[in-house]
Amino acid sequence: MPDWSVYGWIGAAAVALVVIAWLAASFQGPGRSRTTTAWVGAIGLYVALLSLFAHLLRPSLANDSTAGLVGFGFLATMFSLGLLVAIWKTFAALRGGRAGDAGATH
């Protein structure tokens, strides 16, 4: 059995969430529940990508690798911002407000 870090467990759980939300959104009709399910899947996708780049950022910090720090730090920052937007859109879809009108599947 591989020795998984915390990032591996979080990433695997997030990928499972993406698959479950993707399947659920595929079989739902258009509406508020489908939009919410799609945004929950988007949250899972951002968490999976963020855990990947955070996992890759750790050795760059430990080895004082400037290229790794800049590259993986930039990607981790961008996916963190995307995660915040997806969380905001999910809450907007749950409230039924205008900000939740745009779905994550288009």
Let me know if residue 57 belongs to a domain: yes
> Total structural domains in the chain?
1
Q: Decide if 93 is inside a domain.
A: yes
Q: Where residue 1 falls among pLDDT bands split at 50, 70, 90?
A: very low
Does residue 105 sit within a domain?
Answer: no
Within-domain flag for 21: yes
Q: Does the residue 11 lie in any domain?
A: yes
Lowest mean pLDDT among 9-13, 46-50, 96-100: 96-100
Distances, alpha carbon 62 to alpha carbons 33, 54, 55, 66, in Å:
44, 13, 12, 11
User: Is the pLDDT confidence value at 106 over 60?
Assistant: no
pTM over the 0.85 mark: no
With respect to residue 47, please indicate whether it lies within any of the assigned structural domains: yes
Residue 96 domain boundaries: 6-100
Q: Is the pLDDT of residue 17 over 60?
A: yes
